[in-house]
Chains A and B, each alone.
Chain A
């Protein structure tokens, strides 16, 4: 079973095109300054089988791919590998974020998940290296890798990307790497 913190059925800032984004629950790395500390706990949050999650993803035929982040996806490499196989069969691409460096991926499933990701972002979040001007990552030490040929031609264009969703009640939710003009981080509120 997968332990899921939340999902965004459609997002455009975690990889190329429109993607189904999955934040897994649980991370033992505990990077100081991490933005998602509420995803550290390894306690079950929303348990789903990989097949069940794949069905939910594949209902939308307008997706370019899926993105796995967290939490730490490599803690759930086995289940995620099953999910990746199911969605890749239908032509979706896979992007995975991990706080591990490639040499730290020792389990067979972890290495397989890394190798089956079309884009792999690796490395701890380091608060001293924080940089919201980077595309797809939050600190300068983190690396964007292309284990498969699918996106190797993508240019290294850096960008600050933020996604804001407004629901019918005017409630805004924000994803990505918000700059200071947009978010009061101390009070976790939008400045617009």
Chain B
């Protein structure tokens, strides 16, 4: 009986997600150059991934078990991709929040400095209090 190989039409573009997916389905993997050999619990050998044109293409034996294994791997890859996108979005959100916080702090500092400088030029004493996130400036100029 001859063995028939089937090649997946949907390559795995993200290596990190691919490795996560292989491990998520309980398979072992071994990388040699541009090939990853996968050994899955139910089917053993018979699944390889080859790096072509910057993405990993799956080749497997045509058996029903190998087809099922591929389906599980694809589902696990999609889940890993979804988690990675969510993580990246969260990282991006945090970085953006930190950037906005820094910009606001710089804005407050510029405004504080401008007020203090202008007040002193006008002959005012300036007392500064920092309470939590607030800055309170008390400007006093003796008159009569």
**Residues on A facing B (Cβ under 8 Å):** 10, 12-13, 133-135, 157-170, 172, 179, 181-182, 192
| Contact between chains at A159 and B142 (CB < 8 Å) | yes
Check: B89 CB closer than 8 A to any chain A CB. Answer: no
| Contact between chains at B140 and A160 (CB < 8 Å) | yes
| Contact between chains at A166 and B135 (CB < 8 Å) | yes
| Contact between chains at A158 and B118 (CB < 8 Å) | no
A169 contact set on B, CB distance < 8 A: 104, 108
| Contact between chains at B135 and A165 (CB < 8 Å) | yes
Q: Tell me the B100-144 residues at the A interface (CB within 8 Å).
A: 104-105, 107-108, 111-112, 114-115, 118-119, 122, 124, 127, 129, 131, 133-144
Interface size class of B (residues with CB under 8 A): 20 to 34
A168 partner, pick from B118, B119, B134, B137, beta carbons under 8 A: B134
Taking the nearest CB of chain A, how far is it from the CB of B9, in angstroms?
A: 52
B111 partner, pick from A133, A158, A170, beta carbons under 8 A: A170
**Residues on B facing A (Cβ under 8 Å):** 104-105, 107-108, 111-112, 114-115, 118-119, 122, 124, 127, 129, 131, 133-144
| Contact between chains at B122 and A166 (CB < 8 Å) | no
| Contact between chains at A179 and B111 (CB < 8 Å) | no
| Contact between chains at A166 and B143 (CB < 8 Å) | no
| A164-B136, A167-B133, A179-B122 known; A12+B127 contact, CB < 8 A | yes
| Contact between chains at B138 and A161 (CB < 8 Å) | yes
| Contact between chains at A166 and B111 (CB < 8 Å) | yes
A157 contact set on B, CB distance < 8 A: 142
What CA separation (Å) do A12 and B57 show in the bound complex? 72
A192 contact set on B, CB distance < 8 A: 111, 114-115, 118
What CA separation (Å) do A161 and B140 show in the bound complex? 5
Instruction: List the 10 closest pairs (A to B, CB-CB), nearest first.
Output: A133-B143, A168-B133, A158-B144, A170-B107, A166-B135, A162-B139, A164-B137, A158-B143, A192-B115, A170-B108
What CA separation (Å) do A179 and B142 show in the bound complex? 13
What CA separation (Å) do A170 and B101 show in the bound complex? 11
| A167-B133, A181-B118 known; A159+B108 contact, CB < 8 A | no
What CA separation (Å) do A163 and B140 show in the bound complex? 9
Taking the nearest CB of chain B, how far is it from the CB of A106, in angstroms?
A: 34
| Contact between chains at B127 and A172 (CB < 8 Å) | no
| Contact between chains at B118 and A10 (CB < 8 Å) | no
What CA separation (Å) do A181 and B115 show in the bound complex? 11
What CA separation (Å) do A167 and B138 show in the bound complex? 15
| A166-B111, A192-B118 known; A10+B131 contact, CB < 8 A | yes
| Contact between chains at B139 and A161 (CB < 8 Å) | yes
Chain A: CB-nearest residue to B112: A166
Taking the nearest CB of chain A, how far is it from the CB of B8, in angstroms?
A: 52
Taking the nearest CB of chain B, how far is it from the CB of A156, in angstroms?
A: 9
